[in-house]
Amino acid sequence: MTLEHLPALQVMVPLAAAPLIVLLRHAGFAWALAVAASLFAFGASLALALEVSRAGAISYAMGNWPPPWGIEYRVDALSAFVLVLVSAVGALVAPYARRSVAAELPREQHYLYYAVHCLCLAGLLGMTITGDAFNLFVFMEIASLSMYVLIALGRDRRALLASYQYLILGTIGATFYVIGVGLLYLATGTLNIADLAARLPEAQATRAVLAALAFITVGVSLKLALFPLHLWLPNAYAYAPSAATAFLAATATKVSVYVLLRFYFTVFGAPLVVDALPVPQILTGLSIIAIVSASLVAVWQADLKRLLAYSSVAQIGYITLGIGMATRDGLTAAVVHLFNHGITKGALFLLVGGIALRAGSVDFGRLRGLARTMPLTCLGVTLAGLSLIGVPGTAGFISKWYLVLGAIEAGQAWLAALVVLTSLIAVAYVWRFVEAAYLSEPGSGTAVAGEAPLAMLAVSWVMVAACVWFGFDTSFTVQGARRAAELMLGAAP
């Protein structure tokens, strides 16, 4: 009985955990429930991914109303891949959060933090699994509102303004998305994604459909922090609680990339988006600006979290660069980098959370000589930094490799050269950390109480190990991404 209802349980178990946590109100139980729900979600996503790779796409009718009348949950190669990433990060951050949240939030708020974490996880999972365009908006707002709350819980008062700015920009983005879906509904009469894909060719390239494409692009780009709509990201990541930043950096923008892919290739279809419209060129141009400018800005940051936030904007540029190539290898690269960047940034922010716990802040002044007191953490950051750069032997290299292959396949060798050159800028900002931690003398402000707590360190190192593992064993990531890319470029959803 359970396996056939797994698509519903995937989202509903974390979602049901949230009010349960609020009812129980005890911080310890709250954490335990959050961990249990996240682990269940991870197990469910693995089972679904296995089933999809074996038997093809799964469709689940909510409330037993057959699609397209009712809301349908649809797990195919692309959504199963993203589900595994999101639930894996959620399952790792939940146990980690115990020490981190205890250090950064007052005790009365702990159970609320875990409730909102479960809501955010449910929202992100729901966004990925749903097959209905308006249901996607509902889950998008569940996830976004939870994210605004998570960010506003930060210690620094600047977290409040960061959350407010993200709220304004994020709500504008979501409303643009709703406008786009409304125009699509007016043009076709349906909200089901598969049904939209079937009916859109008749309404092809009318002004309403083109306007819908434009609105959805801008709306989702606000959520995925594509240049120039990325202005909310550095502040939000820098001032949020460390566990929240780790969770958001690894999942929020990735799910928005998934939404973009879903709409471009399943709903509108590659013939309209890639061949008839200059969308790939626009995406490529914006991605290049994002990569170069954000990487350069990252080099000059005074704060490690802000540096990593700008690095995120640049890495998202790589993902959209892969989408802009719109070839099989390009899309494979985009989906692979979605996963690899998720685990890399997740690992980095988890480790930085440990530093924040012990050192009090992550200002570069505080980090001088950190390697003496926190050797394992600094080694982890260095390894994950190598993955950011794309050194062979790490997950980041696999993404860059496929980006280069995709560029060559698209006949644009200069893009391949660009990918390699911009990785050198990443060397500059990773080197800043290495220099401060390993090669500097501890200054006056660096009174550090030793290595991070074991629970936090263990979880962070699981992520770091994943960065290295997926650099060597690419069967899951590359095959999953390739299947997703072929699905998108192929025939029916």
Partner 1 sequence: MPAFASHYTYWITVLLMAAGLYIVVARGNLVKKLIGLSIFQTSVYLLYIAPGKLIGGTAPILSEAFKVYSNPLPHVLILTAIVVGIATLALGLAIVVRIREAYGSIEEDEIVAADRDAGDRE
Partner 2 sequence: MKREPVLRVVGKLLIPYMLMFALYVQFHGDFGPGGGFQAGVITAAAVIFYALIFGLPAARRLVPEALVETMVAAGAFLYMAVGFAGLVLGGNYLDYFVLDPDPVAGQHRGIFWVEIGVLVTVSGVMLKIFYMFAGRGRAV
Residues that bind partner 1 (CB under 8 A): 134, 137-138, 141, 145, 148-149, 152, 157-158, 160-161, 163-164, 167-168, 171-172, 174-175, 178-179, 182, 185-186
Q: Which amino acid type is present at position 419?
A: V
Calculate the CA dihedral of residues 297, 300, 303, 305 and round it to 10 degrees.
Answer: 30
Binding test (CB under 8 A) with partner 2, winner from 19, 278, 375, 443: 19
* Sequence-distant (≥ 6) Cβ neighbours of residue 444 within 8 angstroms: none
Nearer to partner 1, 77 or 159 (CB): 159
| Cis peptide preceding 68, ω within 30 of 0 | yes
Nearer to partner 1, 367 or 371 (CB): 367
Shortest Cβ 169–partner 2 spacing (Å): 23
Nearer to partner 1, 5 or 158 (CB): 158
* Residue 208 lies near partner 2 (rule: CB under 8 A): no
Nearer to partner 1, 72 or 329 (CB): 72
Binds 16: which of partner 2, partner 1, none (CB < 5-8 Å by kind): partner 2
Residue with tokens 């692979």: 336
Binds 64: which of partner 2, partner 1, none (CB < 5-8 Å by kind): partner 2
Binds 141: which of partner 2, partner 1, none (CB < 5-8 Å by kind): partner 1
Task: For 486, list phi and psi in degrees, rounded to 5.
Answer: -65, -35
- Taking residues 24 to 43 in sequence order and writing x for each that binds partner 2 by CB under 8 A, - otherwise, the string is -x------------------
CA distance 27 to 48: 31
Binds 12: which of partner 2, partner 1, none (CB < 5-8 Å by kind): partner 2
The number of residues making up the chain comes to: 493
CA distance 432 to 243: 23
Shortest Cβ 164–partner 1 spacing (Å): 5
* Residue 18 lies near partner 2 (rule: CB under 8 A): yes
* Residue 62 lies near partner 2 (rule: CB under 8 A): yes
Shortest Cβ 70–partner 2 spacing (Å): 9
* Residue 15 lies near partner 2 (rule: CB under 8 A): yes
Tell how far CA 76 is from the center of its chain: 19
Nearer to partner 1, 29 or 134 (CB): 134
CA distance 206 to 272: 11
* Residue 450 lies near partner 2 (rule: CB under 8 A): no
Shortest Cβ 127–partner 2 spacing (Å): 17
CA distance 404 to 234: 28
C-alpha distances (whole Å) from 131 to each of 48, 249, 292 are 15, 25, 35
C-alpha distances (whole Å) from 290 to each of 325, 399, 429 are 16, 17, 16
Nearer to partner 2, 9 or 270 (CB): 9
Binds 9: which of partner 1, partner 2, none (CB < 5-8 Å by kind): partner 2
CB 346 within 8 A of CB 250: yes
Shortest Cβ 305–partner 1 spacing (Å): 15
The residue range among 1-9, 243-251, 269-277, 343-351 that interacts with partner 2, by the rule CB under 8 A, is: 1-9
| Cis peptide preceding 234, ω within 30 of 0 | no
Binding test (CB under 8 A) with partner 2, winner from 32, 36, 47, 61: 61
Percent helix, strand, coil in the chain, to 5, is 80, 5, 15
- Give first-to-last CA distance, the chain, whole Å: 26
Please count the CA atoms within 13 angstroms of the CA of 145 that sit on its side-chain side. Answer: 9
Binds 367: which of partner 1, partner 2, none (CB < 5-8 Å by kind): none
* Residue 60 lies near partner 2 (rule: CB under 8 A): yes
* Residue 5 lies near partner 2 (rule: CB under 8 A): yes
Calculate the CA dihedral of residues 337, 79, 247, 2 and round it to 10 degrees.
Answer: -140
Shortest Cβ 374–partner 1 spacing (Å): 23
* Residue 379 lies near partner 2 (rule: CB under 8 A): no
Shortest Cβ 161–partner 2 spacing (Å): 17
The residue range among 62-70, 268-276, 419-427, 457-465 that interacts with partner 2, by the rule CB under 8 A, is: 62-70
Shortest Cβ 21–partner 2 spacing (Å): 8
The residue range among 6-14, 229-237, 416-424, 452-460 that interacts with partner 2, by the rule CB under 8 A, is: 6-14
Instruction: For 323-384, give the DSSP string.
Output: HHH-SHHHHHHHHHHHHHHHHHHHHHHHHHHHHHHHHS--BTTTTTTHHHH-HHHHHHHHHH
Instruction: For 96-134, give the DSSP string.
Output: HHHHHHHHHS-GGGHHHHHHHHHHHHHHHHHHHHB-BHH
Site residues (vs partner 2, CB under 8 A): 5, 8-9, 12, 15-16, 18-20, 22-23, 25, 60-64
